[in-house]
C-alpha cells in the first residue's frame, strides 16, 4: 500500500534538509572540497513537452524560458482540486532533471537551495561519509574545542576518528562512481518492486480493472492500478482498432479514440511473469461495478526463496550499468522504454505536500525514443560537464596538491 506522509515525516525531512545545507555551507566557507548534491534546471526540451501537456488541462507554468522553483510550487497549488491532479504532478516530476553528486556546486533546483550536500539521509550513503570526513579534517585544522568536555581536537586526533582531506580530482572520480551505483540501485529497486507486485497480482488473472494511463508509447499504453500502485502494459496489438502514435503530443489515436496520459479505461489482466515483472492487460468494453481490489483485505506472505530469487535475478541484470546501457543502445525502443518505465514505480503516489516541500529529484526518469537531435544534445552535455572546473579552481587545486604528498592524498579509508 502507498505510504501516506504525515507531519512527522515532514518535520524529520525539514531537519535533515537543514543539516545538509549547514554542512554544505560550512565546507564552502572553509574553502574545503566535498561532493555536493546538485539538481539542475529542467532541460528546454522537457520543459516544452511538460507545458504542452498541461495546456490541454487549461493550466500554465509561469517563468518563461527559465521557470524557478517558486513557479513550479505555484503550479502545484494550481492543481489543487483538479480531477487529474495526480497525473499532472507525475508529469511535472518527469520533466525534472536527475540529481547528481559532483564537487562543483550548482545548487539544488528542486529544493530552491544554493548549497546542498548529503550530510544525513534516511539511508546512509557514501557521500555522507565523505562529507563527515572532510568536516572532521577542517575542524582538526582549526583546532576545534569541545567546550562541554574542555577538549581540543587537533589534526592528529581528528585523523584517528576518520578525518580526511579531499581534492577535486578524487571527488570527481568518487562522484561518478556514486552516481553510477545510485542509478543501479534505483534500477534494482524498481525491478524487485515490480516483480513482487507481479507476484501479488498474479492471483487476479482474468479480472477486469479500472486503470489510468501513466505513459504512452509507440507500442502501447502503460497503465496504473492506483489502489496498489501497480503498473502494466496494454500492448497496441491488443486493440481491435488501428492506432497510430503521435510522439509530439504523446498520444495514441485511431479514427474514433485518442489516449493520453491521465485518461482512464477498463482492462483485463491476461498475463503475468513474476521473474521479469511483466504485467500485461488487454482493453475491454465491459464496465465493472466494483474493482476486484475493493474488498481485498490481505494475502499470504511471499516465500523468502521467491524474494531472494527475484533480487538475485535483478542484481545480475544490473551488475554492470555501463554494460546495460550498451545493451540498451542496441535494443529495440520497445525494450528500452518498457524496462525504464517499470522502474518509475511509486512516482504516481507523490502528494501535493511532498512536491511543494522538496520536488523530490529521485523520481526515476523514463526514456523516450531518442531522436538524433536529442542524442547530440546528450553528447554535448556529457562533454561540457567534464570541463566544469574554472581556471581559478584548477589553479587552487594545483597549489593545494603541491603541499600534500601523493601518499597522503591517496590514502584508502
Tens of pLDDT along 179-228?
988 988 888 888 888 888 998 899 899 999 999 998 899 999 999 988 88
Within-domain flag for 165 = yes
Within-domain flag for 1 = no
288 and 404 belong to one structural domain: no
- Which domain CATH number covers 314? 2.40.50.140
164-201 as b/e: b if 16+ CB within 10 A:
bbbbbebbbebbeebbeebbbebbbbbbbbbbbbbbbb
Question: Which of residues 308, 324, 342 is at a domain's end?
Answer: 342
Question: Which of residues 342, 371, 391 is at a domain's end?
Answer: 342
Distance CA 398, CA 298 (A): 62
359 and 308 belong to one structural domain: no
Within-domain flag for 189 = no
Question: Which of residues 322, 342, 362 is at a domain's end?
Answer: 342
**What is the structure's pLDDT at 387?**
42
171 and 39 belong to one structural domain: yes
Within-domain flag for 2 = no
- Output the nine-digit C-alpha cell for 302: 511471499
102-136 as b/e: b if 16+ CB within 10 A:
bbbbbbbbbbbbebbbbbbeeeebbbbebbbbbbb
* Mean pLDDT over the full length of the chain: 77
36 and 152 belong to one structural domain: yes
162 and 29 belong to one structural domain: yes
Distance CA 106, CA 80 (A): 31
244 and 213 belong to one structural domain: yes
Tens of pLDDT along 359-404?
333 333 333 333 344 444 444 444 444 444 444 444 444 444 444 4
Task: List Cα–Cα distances, 37 to 11, 22, 133, 231, in angstroms.
Answer: 21, 13, 17, 30
The residue with greater pLDDT, 96 or 361, is 96
**What is the structure's pLDDT at 185?**
85
Please tell me which of 86-90, 149-153, 328-332 the model is most confident about, judged by mean pLDDT.
Answer: 86-90
**What is the structure's pLDDT at 259?**
92
Distance CA 304, CA 29 (A): 50
Question: Lowest-confidence range among 91-95, 301-305, 308-312?
Answer: 301-305
**What is the structure's pLDDT at 378?**
44
79 and 226 belong to one structural domain: no
Please tell me which of 105-109, 333-337, 395-399 the model is most confident about, judged by mean pLDDT.
Answer: 105-109
232 and 161 belong to one structural domain: no
The residue with greater pLDDT, 262 or 37, is 37
363 and 229 belong to one structural domain: no
- Output the nine-digit C-alpha cell for 173: 572520480
Q: How many independent structural domains does the chain possess?
A: 2
Count Cα atoms within 13 angstroms, Cβ side, for 333.
9
Whole-model pTM: value is 0.69
Helix (H, G, I), strand (E, B) or coil at 140: helix
The whole domain housing 301 covers 194-342
18 and 149 belong to one structural domain: yes
- Mean pLDDT, rounded, for 336-341: 36
**What is the structure's pLDDT at 116?**
96
Within-domain flag for 238 = yes
| Pairing verdict, β 144-146 and 36-38 | unpaired
333 and 358 belong to one structural domain: no
Q: How confident is the model at residue 102 (pLDDT cuts 50, 70, 90)?
A: very high
> Is the pLDDT confidence value at 129 over 90?
yes
Tens of pLDDT along 281-308?
999 987 766 667 766 666 666 677 777 7
56 and 168 belong to one structural domain: yes
Within-domain flag for 337 = yes
Q: How confident is the model at residue 2 (pLDDT cuts 50, 70, 90)?
A: low
Within-domain flag for 202 = yes
Within-domain flag for 97 = yes
Amino acid at each position: 500500500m502507498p505510504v501516506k506522509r504525515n507531519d512527522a515525516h515532514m518535520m524529520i525531512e525539514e531537519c535533515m534538509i537543514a543539516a545538509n545545507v549547514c554542512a554544505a555551507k560550512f565546507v564552502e566557507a572553509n574553502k574545503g572540497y566535498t561532493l555536493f548534491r546538485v539538481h539542475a534546471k529542467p532541460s528546454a526540451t522537457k520543459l516544452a513537452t511538460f507545458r504542452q501537456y498541461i495546456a490541454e488541462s487549461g493550466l500554465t507554468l509561469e517563468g518563461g524560458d527559465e521557470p524557478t522553483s517558486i513557479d513550479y510550487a505555484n503550479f502545484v497549488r494550481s492543481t489543487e482540486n483538479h480531477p487529474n491532479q495526480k497525473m499532472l504532478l507525475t508529469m511535472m516530476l518527469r520533466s525534472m532533471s536527475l540529481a547528481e553528486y559532483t564537487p562543483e556546486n550548482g545548487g539544488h533546483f528542486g529544493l530552491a537551495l544554493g548549497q546542498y550536500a548529503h550530510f544525513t539521509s534516511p539511508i546512509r550513503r557514501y557521500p555522507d561519509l565523505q562529507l563527515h570526513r572532510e568536516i572532521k579534517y577542517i575542524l582538526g585544522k582549526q583546532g576545534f574545542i569541545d567546550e562541554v568536555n574542555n577538549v581540543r581536537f587537533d589534526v592528529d586526533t581528528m585523523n584517528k576518528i576518520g578525518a580526511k582531506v579531499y581534492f577535486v580530482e578524487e571527488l570527481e572520480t568518487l562522484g561518478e562512481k556514486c552516481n553510477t551505483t545510485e542509478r543501479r540501485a534505483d534500477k534494482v529497486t524498481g525491478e524487485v518492486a515490480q516483480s513482487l507486485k507481479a507476484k501479488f497480482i498474479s492471483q487476479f488473472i482474468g479480472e477486469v480493472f479500472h486503470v489510468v494511463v501513466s505513459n504512452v508509447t509507440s507500442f502501447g499504453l502503460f497503465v496504473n492500478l492506483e489502489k496498489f500502485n501497480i503498473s502494466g502494459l496494454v500492448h497496441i496489438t491488443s486493440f481491435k482498432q488501428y492506432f497510430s502514435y503521435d510522439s509530439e503530443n504523446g498520444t495514441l489515436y485511431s479514427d474514433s479514440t485518442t489516449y493520453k496520459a491521465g485518461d482512464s479505461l477498463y482492462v483485463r489482466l491476461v498475463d503475468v511473469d513474476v521473474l521479469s515483472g511483466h504485467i500485461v492487460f488487454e482493453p475491454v468494453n465491459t464496465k465493472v461495478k466494483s474493482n476486484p481490489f475493493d474488498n481485498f483485505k490481505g494475502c499470504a506472505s511471499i516465500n523468502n526463496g521467491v524474494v531472494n530469487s527475484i533480487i538475485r535475478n535483478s542484481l545480475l541484470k544490473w551488475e554492470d550499468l555501463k554494460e546495460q546501457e550498451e545493451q540498451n543502445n542496441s535494443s529495440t525502443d520497445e525494450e528500452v522504454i518498457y524496462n525504464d518505465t517499470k522502474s518509475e514505480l511509486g512516482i504516481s503516489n507523490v502528494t501535493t505536500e511532498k512536491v511543494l516541500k522538496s520536488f523530490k529529484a529521485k523520481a526515476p526518469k523514463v526514456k523516450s525514443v531518442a531522436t538524433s537531435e536529442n542524442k547530440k544534445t546528450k553528447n554535448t552535455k556529457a562533454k561540457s560537464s567534464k570541463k566544469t572546473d574554472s581556471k581559478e579552481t584548477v589553479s587552487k587545486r594545483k597549489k593545494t596538491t603541491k603541499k600534500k604528498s601523493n601518499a597522503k592524498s591517496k590514502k584508502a579509508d
